[in-house]
Chain A
Amino acid sequence: AQKITQTQPGMFVQEKEAVTLDCTYDTSDQSYGLFWYKQPSSGEMIFLIYQGSYDEQNATEGRYSLNFQKARKSANLVISASQLGDSAMYFCAIGSWGKFQFGAGTQVVVTP
């Protein structure tokens, strides 16, 4: 069984600052992927970044980076230089061979 925990229900961040969203997971699978999605108020789910369990380097995609600490089973998302358009719900997910489990999400509000 897989489990994802996001302990921060909501966060405020000032524009241009960095923010870290926490994600811890539990799985008995040896191979798995960790994913982050953004959900704006419109409801669509937007894929942001992926980290494989065997990847030694932390993933980066533009302003998004994933701080992967396998031994601690954590996969935190870092958003650098926050923009007003980053205001949204953010979900961490774990996937293994076609099955995915999502966390409860963290609401981020970026203020001017």
Chain B
Amino acid sequence: DGGITQSPKYLFRKEGQNVTLSCEQNLNHDAMYWYRQDPGQGLRLIYYSQIVNDFQKGDIAEGYSVSREKKESFPLTVTSAQKNPTAFYLCASAQNPAVGGIGNEQFFGPGTRLTVL
């Protein structure tokens, strides 16, 4: 089955620790995204990547880092510099707009709930 997997589903972190959230897709999509969602709020873009070995900051990149060494994988590291990391993190992917145009919807993973203890 094609789709996006995120692991773990729940993650607990002590203050001052870095933690990495996994995101893998087998949809052959070029673009991948990380969003943060706080309770009762919308999605805010952290980072996105439209091609391997390239990524751009979104609206709230401070305290986060990413890598895109493989097309299928886009891990997100929440660093100790992120002051309030407790949130729900969603990874998404989409087909390259150069292939399908502007109508390529994003496909989302099931999310990771991060709690800082």
Q: Is B42 on the interface with A (CB-CB < 8 A)?
A: yes
| B96 contacts across to A, CB distance below 8 A | 98
**Contact A98 B105, beta carbon cutoff 8 Å:** no
Most central of A43, A96, A98 by chain B CB within 10 Å? A98
| A91 contacts across to B, CB distance below 8 A | 42-43
Q: Is A32 on the interface with B (CB-CB < 8 A)?
A: yes
Q: Pick from A44, A53, A97: contact of B97, CB below 8 A.
A: A97
For B88, the closest partner residue in chain A by CB is A43
**Contact B108 A45, beta carbon cutoff 8 Å:** yes
**Contact B97 A98, beta carbon cutoff 8 Å:** yes
Q: Report the minimal beta-carbon distance from A55 to chain B, rounded to whole angstroms.
A: 9
Total A residues in contact with B, Cβ cutoff 8 Å = 27
Q: Is A12 on the interface with B (CB-CB < 8 A)?
A: no
For B112, the closest partner residue in chain A by CB is A43
Question: CA–CA, A35 to B105, complex, Å?
Answer: 7
For B49, the closest partner residue in chain A by CB is A98
Chain A contact residues, CB within 8 Å of chain B: 31-33, 35, 37, 42-45, 47, 50, 52-53, 91, 93, 95-105, 107
Total B residues in contact with A, Cβ cutoff 8 Å = 28
| A50 contacts across to B, CB distance below 8 A | 103, 105
Q: Report the minimal beta-carbon distance from A106 to chain B, rounded to whole angstroms.
A: 10
Question: CA–CA, A104 to B45, complex, Å?
Answer: 13
Mask, B70-93, CB within 8 Å of A = 1, is 000000000000000000101010
**Contact B102 A52, beta carbon cutoff 8 Å:** yes
**Contact A100 B102, beta carbon cutoff 8 Å:** no
Question: CA–CA, A56 to B87, complex, Å?
Answer: 39
**Contact B42 A47, beta carbon cutoff 8 Å:** no
Question: CA–CA, A107 to B39, complex, Å?
Answer: 12
Most central of B31, B44, B105 by chain A CB within 10 Å? B105
Q: Is B64 on the interface with A (CB-CB < 8 A)?
A: no
Q: Is B34 on the interface with A (CB-CB < 8 A)?
A: no
